[in-house]
A and B are shown apart, each in its own frame.
Chain A
Amino acid sequence: MPTERSSADRPALPGPAASLAVLLGLWGRGLGTGARIAVVVGVALLVAITVVAVTFPSQIGFAPELTEAMRQYLPVGYLAFVVTTATAVLFGGGGREALPAEQVVAFPVGPTTDHLAGLVLAPLNLAWLLQAWTLLASVAVLTHGGHTWAAVVPVVLWLVAATVVVQWLSWVVEYVRRGPRGELVVRTTAVVVGLVIVAVVSTGHLLDVAEWTPAAWASSLPYLGAEGDWLTWLFGCLLLVAAALGAAILGSGTAKLTWTRPATTQARVETRRYATRPFPRSALRALVAIDRGSVWRSAPLRRGLVLLSLLPVVVAFAGRLDWLMVPVLPGLVASGGALLFGVNAWALDARGAVWRESLPVAPVTALVARAWVLVEVLTAASVATLLICGWRAGPPNAAELSAAVCATATIAVRTVASGLRWSVRRPFSVDLRSVRATPAPPLVMVAYSARLAVAATLTGLVFSVVGRLFSWWVSVGLAGVLCATSVVSLWWTARLWSRADVRSNVVDTVASV
C-alpha cells in the first residue's frame, strides 16, 4: 500500500495574485498606527486628486487657442507617458518590488508575482501620476459637453495598457542585459534610441512622429466616446484591453525567463578590485570618501545619476526656453537627485552603520560628510541643468541671471535640509544593493517626491517673478532669507543627530536590512 501522500494531500500554494496580496499584507502589518493612517490618507488623496482632475478643469473656460493646442498635442502627451514610464521602469531593472528580494527569500515568491507587483506598484511614482492626471484633465477639457465617463475610460485603458507593455519591455531588456554582452547591447540600444528621440525633437518632427504611433489612434478614442460613436469606441477599448492582457501574459513569461539568468550588474561592482585611495588628511575627508564610494558603487544610485545627467540634455533639446522658466528646472532636477538616497541618507551604510557608530568621531562630522556628498550630487545635476537652460534661453539680463542662480542655490540647500531631516526622523531599512531598490517604500517616495517637487516649483516661480519685476539684488536678498531658514533646519537636524538615542534608533533601523 503506498504511503506517500498524494498531490491532493499537499496544501495548495497560493497563486501569484494571492501571493502578492500576502506580501502587501506583510508590509502593511509592519506599519505602526500612524503609518497606516498616513497610507489611508495618502491613497484617499490620490483618488481625490484623480476625481478633481476629471471633473474640475472641464468647468474652467479655456481660451480656444489653448484648447486647440491641447487637442494638437494630445497624442504627444500619450506618447510622453509611455516614454517616461518606460524610462522609470527600465532604469529600475524590472520595476518596483512588493518587498525587497532579501526579505522574501524564505517565501515561495515566483516571477509572476514579481511581475504583478511591478504592475500594481508602477503608479506609485510622481511622474506617472502627474502625467496620468494631466491626460485625464486634458481629455475632460477637450470632450466637455459630451459623455465624460466614455471619454475617460479609454484614457484609463491607455494608462493601463501602456504600463503593462512597458513592464513587459523592461523584462525583455533585463533578460538581454543579463545575457552575454548584455550590458553593451542595452547601453548601445539606449544611446541609439536616445539619439533618435533627440533628433526627432530637435528637428521639430515630434507631432509628425506621434501621428504615426498608436498614441494618435488611442488619443482619438475619447472623442468617439464623448460623441456617442459607441461601436468604434467599444472596439478601440477592447483592443486596449486585449493589448494589456497580451502584454501581461508576455511579461509574465519574460519575467520567468529573466529569473533564470543571474543579475550581473551588482555582481560586477562587487567583484571588481578598487584602487587604493590616498590616506585622507582629515576625518571629514575620510568620511566623505567612504560616503562617495557608497553612492558611486551602488547600482541603483549609479543608474539614477546617469538618468539625472541625461535630464539636462532632454531640457536642451526640448525647445527654446524663456528665462521665466529657467529658475524652475534646475530645482526640479535637484529634487530628483535627493530622491536617489538623500531622503534616507544613513541607509548608505546598511549593516555597517553599527560599526561606523562605534568609531570615535563627532556626530556632526558624520552629518556634514553625508550632507557634503548629497550637495555634490545635487550641485552637479542642477548646475548642469542651469547652464544648459541658460544656453537655450539666450543672453539674460542681470536680474534674470541672479534669479536663476539664486533659485538653484536656494532649492539645493533646501533639498539637502529636507532630505537630512527626513533621514534622521524617519529612517528606513533599505538595501541599496539591488537595482530595483528605492530609499523608502513606494508610497513614501510619492509623498517625498511631491513635497520636494512642489517646494522646488513654487520657489522657482517666486524667483522667476522676482527676476522679471525687480533688480538683481532682490533675488540675492530673498535667497539669503530662504537659505537662512534652511540652515536653521539643518542646525535643528544636527542637534537631533547629536542625541545618542536618536542615532541609536537610526542605526538600529538602517542596519536591520
Chain B
Amino acid sequence: MTAVVRVADLRVQFGSVVAVDGVSFEVRPGGATALLGRNGAGKSTTMRVLAGVVPPSSGVAEVAGADVATDPLEAKRRSGYCPDVGGLIPRATPWEHLQLSARLRGLQDWESRARSLLEQFDLGGEAHRVTAGFSHGMGRRMSVALAVFHQPPVLLLDEPFDGVDPTGVDATLEAVADARARGAAVILSTHLRDLAVEACDHAVVLRGGLAVASVDAREMAGEGGARAYRALLG
C-alpha cells in the first residue's frame, strides 16, 4: 500500500541549531504513528514541516502526494493540523474558526458536522465565545476539532492530550479512530506514552533531532515498554 505520509532524510535548521537531523518514516492509509521523545527532540518541528508552517532545510516531506516544499498549499489542503501550543485566534469564536476553515477549504453543507464536532468535544455551549477566554484544555479540544473538521487524508495532532480532561481524551481517541477507519493517516505527537500506544499502531522515537527507534506501538506498552522508552531517551 502506498504511504500517505512520506518523510525521508528530513532536516530542519534554525541558524546554528539543528532541530531535525535526517528523520525518515512513512505512514500508510489507516495507519497511526506516534512521535515520541523528550522536549526539544524535534517532534513539533517535524509536525510543523508536515503542516506547511515551517519549510524544511533539506529532505523530503510529502503529505498525500503533495510535497510540502514545492506545493505547500496542496499539502495544507490535504492535512488537518492541531498545533502544540495555542493554535486558536484569540478574538475569534469556535464557530468563526470553523467558518474560516470551511471557506478556505471550500466545504459545502458543513454546519451540521461543525455542530456535531463541537458537541463531541463538549464545546457546544461555547461556540460563540471568543477563544481568549478558554481554558488550556478547552483550547486543546477545539484545536483537535478543527484538525479533524474537514476529514483530511492526513491528520497531524501535536500534543492533543496536554491538559485535557478524560472526556476530552475520549473524544480525541474517538476522532483518531474515526480518521483511521476512513483511511486517513494519523501522526500524533505526545509525552503520554500510554495514550500514544492506545491511539497508534506504530511509534517513532526522536532524540536530539534524530529518529532513534521505529517500532510497533505495542512494544512501547506496559512496564516493558516504559523501560525500553526510557532507554531510548538516554
CB distance from B79 to the nearest CB of A (A): 7
* B54 adjacent to A275 (CB under 8 Å): no
Stretch at the interface among A173-181, A185-193, A344-352: A344-352
**A359-B51 Cα distance, complex, nearest whole Å:** 9
Cβ distance A271 to chain B, nearest Cβ, rounded Å? 6
Is B86's CB under 8 angstroms from A354's CB?
yes
Q: Is the CB of A500 within 8 A of B85?
A: no
Known: A276-B95, A352-B92. A362 touches B73 (CB 8 A): yes
Q: Is the CB of B86 within 8 A of A274?
A: no
Q: Which B residues lie within 8 Å of A269 (CB)?
A: 91, 130, 132
The interface-forming segment of A290-298, A322-330, A388-396, A408-416 is A290-298
A474-513 interface with B by 8 A CB criterion:
500-501, 504, 507-508, 511
Residues of B within 8 A of A271 (CB): 129, 133
Q: How many residues of B contact A (CB 8 A)?
A: 41
- B79's nearest neighbour on chain A, judged by CB, is A358
Q: Which one of B99-107, B187-195, B214-222, B224-232 is at the A interface?
A: B99-107
- From A270, A275, A357, A511, B128 is in contact (CB under 8 Å) with A275
With an 8 Å Cβ cutoff, the count of chain A residues facing the other chain is: 45
A12 to B53, CA, bound (A): 46
Tell me how far the C-beta of A384 lies from the nearest C-beta in chain B, rounded to whole angstroms. Answer: 25
A378 at the binding interface (Cβ < 8 Å) = no
The one of A273, A275, A351 in contact with B129, judged by C-beta atoms closer than 8 angstroms, is A273
Q: Is the CB of A286 within 8 A of B104?
A: yes
Let me know if B120 is at the binding interface, CB within 8 A.
Answer: no
What is the CA–CA distance of A500 and B101 in the complex, to the nearest angstrom?
21
9-residue interface stretch from A50-58, A140-148, A277-285:
A277-285
Q: Residue B143 at the A interface, CB < 8 A?
A: yes
A272 in the interface (beta carbon within 8 A):
yes
A287 vs B86: C-alpha distance in the bound complex, in angstroms? 19
The interface residues of chain B lying within 8 Å CB-to-CB of A282 are: 103
Contacting A276 at CB < 8 Å: which of B101, B128, B131? B128
Q: How far is the CA of A461 from the CA of B105 in the complex (A)?
A: 48
Q: Which residue of A lies closest to B77 (CB)?
A: A360
Q: Which residue of B lies closest to A276 (CB)?
A: B95
New A-B pairs, 9, CB < 8 Å, besides A271-B133, A355-B88: A280-B99, A293-B91, A350-B89, A351-B90, A352-B87, A352-B90, A354-B85, A355-B143, A361-B104
- State whether the Cβ of B202 lies closer than 8 Å to any Cβ in chain A: no
- Collect the chain A residues with CB atoms within 8 Å of residue B73's CB: 360-362
Task: Let me know if A357 and B104 touch, CB within 8 A.
Answer: no
Cα of A287 to Cα of B104 in the assembled complex, Å: 9
Q: Which residue of B has the minimal Cβ distance to A354? A: B83
B207 proximal to A (CB < 8 A): no
Smallest beta-carbon distance A454→chain B, Å? 32
Residue with the greatest number of chain A CB neighbours at <10 A, chosen from B92, B101, B129: B92
Q: Assess the B85–A290 pair: CB atoms within 8 A.
A: no
How far does the Cβ of A341 sit from chain B's closest Cβ, in whole Å? 12
Residue in contact with B55 in the complex, picked from A287, A293, A500, CB distance below 8 Å? A500
Chain A: minimal CB distance from B207 (Å): 23
Distance (whole angstroms) from the CB of A21 to the closest CB of chain B: 30
Give the docked Cα–Cα distance between A294 and B88 (Å).
Answer: 12
B128 touches A433 (CB 8 A): no
Residue B81 is within 8 A (CB to CB) of chain A in the complex: yes
Query: Does A426 have its Cβ within 8 Å of any Cβ on chain B?
Result: no
Contact with A along B55-95 (1 / 0, CB 8 A): 10000000000000000111011010101011111111101
- Is A356 at the interface (CB under 8 A from chain B)? yes
Contact A350 B55, beta carbon cutoff 8 Å: no
The smallest C-beta distance from A502 to any residue of chain B, in angstroms, reads 10
The 6 A-B pairs of least Cβ separation, nearest first, read A351-B86, A270-B133, A352-B89, A500-B55, A297-B91, A286-B103
CB neighbours (8 Å) of A501 from chain B are 55
With beta carbons under 8 angstroms apart, the residue of A274, A354, A500 that contacts B93 is: A274
CB contacts under 8 Å to A, within B107-150, are 128-133, 143, 146
- Structural contact, B92 and A290, CB atoms closer than 8 A: yes
Report the Cα distance A282→B79, complex, angstroms: 21
Q: Tell me the bound Cα distance from A431 to B96 in angstroms.
A: 20
A-B contact pairs, 6 of them (CB 8 A): A270-B132, A286-B103, A351-B90, A357-B51, A359-B105, A501-B55
Across the two chains, which residue of chain A brings its CB closest to B105? A360
Q: Give B54's nearest chain A residue, CB to CB.
A: A504
| Contact status A286-B52, CB under 8 Å | no
Contact B89 A360 (CB under 8 A): no
**A residues near B48, Cβ cutoff 8 Å:** 354
Query: Roughly how many angstroms separate A252 CA and B91 CA in the complex, as a whole number?
Result: 33
Q: A97 → chain B, closest Cβ, in Å?
A: 18
Contacts of A298 in B (CB 8 A): 91
* Complex Cα gap A289–B133 (Å): 20
Minimum CB–CB distance for B15 against chain A, Å: 11
* B75 CB, min distance to chain A CBs, angstroms: 8
CB distance from B32 to the nearest CB of A (A): 19
Q: Which residue of B lies closest to A270 (CB)?
A: B133
Q: Which residues of A contact B85 (CB under 8 A)?
A: 351, 354, 511
CA distance A228 to B86 in the complex (A): 64
Provide the residues of chain B in CB contact with A355, threshold 8 Å: 81, 83, 86-89, 97, 143, 146
By a CB distance below 8 angstroms, the chain A residues around B53 are: 354, 357-358, 504, 507
- Among A274, A348, A360: residue with most chain B CB under 10 A: A360
Q: A358 near B81 (CB under 8 angstroms)?
A: yes
Residues of A near B103 (CB, < 8 A) are: 279-280, 282-283, 286
Nearest B residue to A351 by beta-carbon distance? B86
Q: Which residues of B contact A352 (CB under 8 A)?
A: 86-90, 92, 131
